[in-house]
């Protein structure tokens, strides 16, 4: 099911003319686009956005696209894992604030500034913002493992 995408910020972000100029664009995969998250509280934290249409729920995808979206997330997660060897990868598909299918793929380290038994949400902390150059370094580290 496709809904009105005219006011969706993720539809704008994955627009073909826009995404490759984005300073945090990592790569296009089969049915999704990976961007480094602006908040790098966990180094390598990436957002993977479904890019074929404005869709809000996994069950609204045809099986082939749903499978491809999962495979894309696995590919990105493996690259992040290989780059940073985290304690555990976290995968979150929420969309309460931005209802367009997107995975939060978050490498959690034992030395995280956040407690490991909590997701990164709902805690009061200062998000880690970096310069475009610093984002670029992390993107390079992830892309080196994105096969």
Binding site for Zn ion (CB under 5 A): 5, 8, 10-11, 54, 100
Contacts by residues 21-27 (CB-CB < 8 Å, ≥ 24 positions apart): 23/132, 23/135, 23/136, 24/135, 24/139, 25/139, 26/76, 26/139, 26/142, 26/143, 26/146, 27/76, 27/143, 27/146
Closer CB to Zn ion, 11 or 27, in the complex: 11
CB of 71 vs Zn ion, minimal distance in Å: 21
Closer CB to Zn ion, 15 or 112, in the complex: 15
CA distance 136 to 53: 27
Closer CB to Zn ion, 5 or 145, in the complex: 5
CB of 33 vs Zn ion, minimal distance in Å: 12
CB of 136 vs Zn ion, minimal distance in Å: 26
The number of residues in the chain equals 147
């Amino acid at each position: 099911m496709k809904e009105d995408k005219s006011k969706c910020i993720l539809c704008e972000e994955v627009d073909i003319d826009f995404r490759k100029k984005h300073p945090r664009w990592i790569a296009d995969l089969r049915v999704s686009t990976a961007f480094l998250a602006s908040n790098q509280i966990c180094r390598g934290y990436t957002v993977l956005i479904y890019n074929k249409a404005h869709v809000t729920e996994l069950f609204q995808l045809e099986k082939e696209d749903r499978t491809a979206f999962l495979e894309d997330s696995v590919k990105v997660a493996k690259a992040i894992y290989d780059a940073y060897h985290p304690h555990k990868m976290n995968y979150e598909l929420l969309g309460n604030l931005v209802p367009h299918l997107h995975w939060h793929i978050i490498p959690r380290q034992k030395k995280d500034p956040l407690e490991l038994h909590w997701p990164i949400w709902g805690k009061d902390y200062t998000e880690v913002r970096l310069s475009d150059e610093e984002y670029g370094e992390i993107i390079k580290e992830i892309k080196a493992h994105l096969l």
